[in-house]
Amino acid sequence: MDIKKSLEEFKIIFSIPFPGDKSIDINETILISWVVMAVLIIAAFLLTRKMREVPRGPQIFLEWAMEFLNTFSREHFGRRAKVYGPYIGTIFLFLLLANIIPILSPMALPVFGIEPPVTIKPPTRDINLTAALAIMSILLVFFGGIRARGVGGWGKNLLKPVPMMLPFNILDYIIRPVSLCLRLFGNILGGFIIMLLIEHAMPIPVVIPVFASLYFDFFDGLIQAVIFTFLTTLFVAEAVEV
C-alpha cells in the first residue's frame, strides 16, 4: 500500500496544471457541493415542468415524496410546517446526494493495475462543510425560538424547568451544533477511510469493494442524512413549540 499516495486522497485542494508551470487550485468540497446543488436544481426543474392532474411516471414518486415531507413537517411543526418544512426537505436531499455521490466514482483496484482518471469523494468528509450545516441548523433553532416566543418568552424558556438550568440551556446552543457537525463528519470520514483500505488491500476480489461501496457509500450515507435531518427537526420543533 502506497502511504504517500493514500494520504493524497485526504486533500481537499487539488490543482489543475496549465502550460508554463502554472496551475489553478480548486477546493474540492466547494466544487462537489456546487455539483450536488446543480443536480438538485436541474432535477427539480425537469420533474416539475410538465405537471399533470393525473400523475404518471416520475410525478407519482415526486408527489409521494412531497406528501411524505408535508405529513412529517405537520407532525413536528404543526401550523409552522410551511415555514420549516422546505428547509428540512432541502437539507435532507443535499446531504443524501452529497453522502452517496462517491458511489458514482470509478473504483481503484491497484491489485489489477486499475487506476481511475478521477475519483469523486463525499464533500461531507470535510469538517468545514459539516460545521457550516450545523451552524445553519442551530441558527434556525435560535431565530425560530425567538420568532415563536418573542425575545422575552425565549429568555424565560432558558430558565425552565428551574432557573439554575440557565447555563446548561445556553450551553445547548454550543453542544448541539458541535454534536451534529462531528457525528456527520466522523461517520462519513470513517466510511471513506474504510473504503480506501479495502480498495488498497492485497489480494482482494473485485466483488468485495463493490459490496463494501454499497454499504459505506450508499447505506451509511443515507443513514447519516436521516440522522442529521431528524435531529435538526427535533431541535427546531422543540424551539418553536409554544
Question: In the predicted model, what is the mean pLDDT of the chain?
Answer: 82
The conformation of residue 10, written as its DSSP 8-state character, comes to T
Give the model's confidence band at 242: pLDDT under 50 very low, under 70 low, under 90 confident, else very high: low
Q: To the nearest whole percent, how much of the chain has pLDDT over 90?
A: 33
Residue 204, pLDDT score: 56
pLDDT in tens, 132-164: 999 999 999 999 999 988 888 888 888 888 888
Tell me the average pLDDT across 21-25.
70
For CA atoms 82, 84, 90, 95, the dihedral sign is: negative
**pLDDT above 60: residue 224:** yes
Residue with more model confidence, 65 or 25: 65
Give the model's confidence band at 18: pLDDT under 50 very low, under 70 low, under 90 confident, else very high: low
Residue 20, pLDDT score: 65
Residue 92, pLDDT score: 94
Residue 138, pLDDT score: 94
Query: Which value, in Å, is the radius of gyration of the alpha carbons in the chain?
Result: 22
Residue 36, pLDDT score: 93
How far is residue 192 CA from its own chain's centroid? 14
The CA angle 10-16-20, to the nearest 5 degrees, is 135
Residue 15, pLDDT score: 63
Residue 6, pLDDT score: 54
Tell me the average pLDDT across 74-84.
89
Q: So where are the chain's domains?
A: 3-240
* C-alpha grid cell, residue 77: 411543526
DSSP β-ladder status, 13-18 and 22-27? antiparallel
Residue 40 · residue 97 · CB < 8 Å: yes
Give the model's confidence band at 7: pLDDT under 50 very low, under 70 low, under 90 confident, else very high: low
pLDDT in tens, 197-210: 777 665 555 556 66
Residue 68 · residue 83 · CB < 8 Å: no
Residue 139 · residue 202 · CB < 8 Å: no
Give the model's confidence band at 119: pLDDT under 50 very low, under 70 low, under 90 confident, else very high: confident
Tell me the average pLDDT across 70-98.
91
Residue 223 · residue 95 · CB < 8 Å: no
Residue 117, pLDDT score: 57
Residue 143, pLDDT score: 93
* C-alpha grid cell, residue 177: 451544533
On the question of a cis peptide bond just before residue 161, with omega within 30 degrees of 0, the verdict is yes
- N- to C-terminal Cα separation, the chain: 57
Lowest-pLDDT range of 2-6, 33-37, 191-195: 2-6
Residue 57, pLDDT score: 77
